[in-house]
Structure 1
């Protein structure tokens, strides 16, 4: 079975994932904990890693099941076909979210545009392109995941 990306209404990611699990659809909504501040207090809240996206794993013939959830809008498409996420990519996201150790990466000897392979941390063995280097951070593009990684120096 393939993993597909479902686009949701804004701020509905957790609700959609919960509704889909209730009807028996395997889904994954990666969450990160952030400190949010209001005028009267600070609080740790879990927010989706990807805004308006939930990953679902089901057979191609049962893809319409997700629309039983009120917040599911449509599937994400790539080149005219529903975008498919590989199992390895979902596992990398899960591994990254479950890792608590800090990764120190030195890319001072690299040039912008150079392709590198990450050697440690949750993205070990992933290929990336150096997009930006500043005094405070590096920006790497992880091609296989289609995302940008910003790392502190």
Structure 2
């Protein structure tokens, strides 16, 4: 009888294993989520496996040889594969599918013009200001009230943080 089993894959080979299993008419499920990654100062969403190095496979061990799955490119071994293989309950797989479907990553867009900020270091530590704009990769301009006047000053982005009440 067909059931779900957990397949351990070689590192970063989940998709390769999934493709090679599909060529053998073996159904599989690789839960993919979107995650926020920052590279070279830019933040973007990338798709990554929810369980790195793992793939769920749906097959009948009496019809498909376990050694055939173990020898599939990208695959390593079926977890819990001894004399008696332990299947995964369908409700667990369905629960994972539901959670992956509802998963919505929040992207931190960084500081936006008009955001209240607070200095975390330097001569103005613990004072509030208003973020105006980014000047360069590591610098920015903030509007700062000093002696009753609003002044525009340039500061290091690392020296301020979003003000939270």
TM-score by length of structure 2 reads 0.54
How far apart are 1:40 and its partner, in Å?
Answer: 5.1
Structural mapping, 1:57-136, within 5 Å: 57-61=58-62, 62=64, 63-77=66-80, 81-99=84-102
CA RMSD of aligned residues (A): 2.4
The size of the alignment, in residue pairs, is 102
- Contact map agreement 2:70 2:78 (CA 8 A) in 1: no
Aligned mates of 1:72, 1:42 — CA distance in 2? 32
How far apart are 1:31 and its partner, in Å?
Answer: 0.6
Gaps of 5+ in 2: 105-165
Aligned mates of 2:84, 2:11 — CA distance in 1? 23
TM-score by length of structure 1 reads 0.58
Q: Deviations over 1:66-110 (max 9, x none)?
A: 234211111111787433211111111111111258xxxxxxxxx
- Contact map agreement 1:7 1:76 (CA 8 A) in 2: yes
Q: Deviations over 1:34-69 (max 9, x none)?
A: 111112533321111112110101111213332342
- Contact map agreement 2:29 2:57 (CA 8 A) in 1: yes
Report the secondary structure of 1:43's partner residue.
strand
Gaps of 5+ in 1: 102-153
How far apart are 1:26 and its partner, in Å?
Answer: 0.4
Bigger Rg over Cα = 2
With over 3 angstroms needed to count, the CA separation of the structure-2 counterparts of 1:23 and 1:78, relative to structure 1, is: closer
With over 3 angstroms needed to count, the CA separation of the structure-2 counterparts of 1:13 and 1:27, relative to structure 1, is: same
With over 3 angstroms needed to count, the CA separation of the structure-2 counterparts of 1:60 and 1:42, relative to structure 1, is: same
Counterpart of 1:9? Answer: 10
Aligned mates of 1:56, 1:20 — CA distance in 2? 9
Aligned mates of 2:89, 2:18 — CA distance in 1? 19
